[in-house]
Structure 1
Amino acid sequence: MKIVDAQFLQSAQSVADSPSPDRAEVAFLGRSNVGKSSLLNTLTNRKGLAKSSSTPGKTQLINYFEIKFKTENEELPYLYARFVDLPGFGYAKVAKTLKAAWNKNLTGYLEQRPNLQIFVHLIDARHPDLAIDKNVDEFLGNIKRGDQIIIHAFTKIDKLKQNDLQKLKRAYPDGIFISNLKKRGMIDLQNRITGYLFGNEIL
């Protein structure tokens, strides 16, 4: 199974102005500058689909993308889902009032979106134990419904020594290990997502 098309659908400030919850959604979240936009572009094979910014924390909207998958099942040749690019957290240079509204809208989406099935928490492989990521994990664990899963995807593994990478893999045996630069881990991440959304039997 592979992604054959990915299109920008719309941006939203909150759940209230989000698209109709009629497709399964996969939310990608992580600290600012963790490589989220680059990962989405590499995963969908669409350069420039998700816009990255040189200013951490600049993206303030919830961005929705329609994703089309090609299966090997002749009776069901295509399946659809949405990828959702969420604002980065951990930004510093944002006005307090904006930051409060931003946090409220982001947590509102995570807590209230009925069709949200998967949280993909992106973590910089060089800094896997930051307090902010542990706080996000704790938050996701508290709000997660029984029909949702959390995937930990460690980015920038090409910047690690092999020793450190092996240590990280031992510490997080269920993690996905990503290099946008070398396109490593993309198939693993896609298979984890599609296996959960659609079931391996029809892929």
Structure 2
Amino acid sequence: MTNPPVSHKPKHGIKRKKNLAKLKTRQKAKAIEKIEKKNDAVTFEVVFVGRSNVGKSTLLKNLTGRNVRTGKRPGVTLKPTHLYFDDFLITDMPGFGFMSGVTKEKSDDVKDNIVHYIEEHADRIMIAVQVIDGPAFVEITERWDSRDEIPIDLELHDFLEEMEIITIIAANKMDRVKDDEKDDLLNDVVGIFGYDRGEGTWKESGALVAPVSARGGDIRPLISHLKNEFHKMKRDDLFKHFK
């Protein structure tokens, strides 16, 4: 009985896979090194924070002209998204609160990661833009109050103040509010956040409030507040990064 023929097939496939694995490892290392260099150069950061599905990513896209990951499903953004401009960094933080298809444990982890990120980079985070759903904000707050719980939005706002980070409240989706109802709504918003407006309206409260409509493209109040704060910090050079 003869022995079966010995296969002399070249092992090119295995070698090719090993080479591809090495290439991917090198590419990953270079990408990490590149990000680290960018991070080392950052001296001024603006973070965008808020509940899931309030329109942070869409607002950022309109503000900078840069493509930012967006989605209709709450919780699409689970990790910080960074936009680098030399020594200036804009960060879109993950949305907190309800996230479709995400467990409560994961949702809590996301919230904790937001806090840890801000604590870790507090020395370079000069401004936070806290985006809220203008039309729904009062109702959401009342729902939390009815359960004798402090709304996450207020916890976050207080935390940013404790960290001494200038906070702009961007009340988004204001195109859904009737013109003659906007002032009353914004009066309620600043009251919920604890600002005293005295005998005046929300404009006299001292709060940095920007009523905007990301989808409608009306973000001028936010740009105005940002530029004003940049000017106070002698960073007029940052104006060029906004549309």
Please indicate the TM-score interval, normalised by the length of the shorter structure: 0.7 to 0.9
- Which of these two proteins has the greater Rg computed from alpha carbons? 2
Cα shift at 1:135: 2.6
TM-score after normalising by structure 2: 0.62
Q: Take 2:152 and 2:113, find their aligned partners in 1: how far apart are those partners?
A: 18
Aligned length: 173
Identity %: 27
Q: What is the one-letter code of the residue matched to 2:133?
A: D
Aligned counterpart, 1:39: 59
1:38-65: per-residue Cα shift (whole Å, max 9, x none)? Answer: 101111134xx11112221121111110
Change (3 A) 1:167 1:108: same
- RMSD of aligned Cα (Å): 2.9
Cα shift at 1:19: 2.5
1:118-161: per-residue Cα shift (whole Å, max 9, x none)? Answer: 1100011102332232232223223x22xx20100100000001
Bigger relative contact order, structure 1 or 2, given CA contacts below 8 A and separation 6+? Answer: 1
SS at match of 2:39: coil
Aligned counterpart, 1:150: 167
Q: Which has the higher strand share?
A: 1
Q: Do the aligned partners of 2:52 and 2:98 also contact (CA within 8 Å) in 1?
A: yes
The answer for unaligned runs of 5 or more in structure 2 is: 1-31, 142-150, 191-201, 237-243
Tell me which stretches of 4 or more aligned residues in structure 1 moved more than 6 Å: none
Q: Which has the higher helix share?
A: 2
Change (3 A) 1:104 1:133: closer
Q: Do the aligned partners of 2:96 and 2:107 also contact (CA within 8 Å) in 1?
A: no
Aligned counterpart, 1:77: none
The answer for unaligned runs of 5 or more in structure 1 is: 1-11, 69-79
Matched, 1:183 2:217: yes
Q: What is the one-letter code of the residue matched to 1:56?
A: P
Change (3 A) 1:202 1:111: closer
Q: What is the one-letter code of the residue matched to 2:173?
A: K
Change (3 A) 1:50 1:112: same
TM-score after normalising by structure 1: 0.73
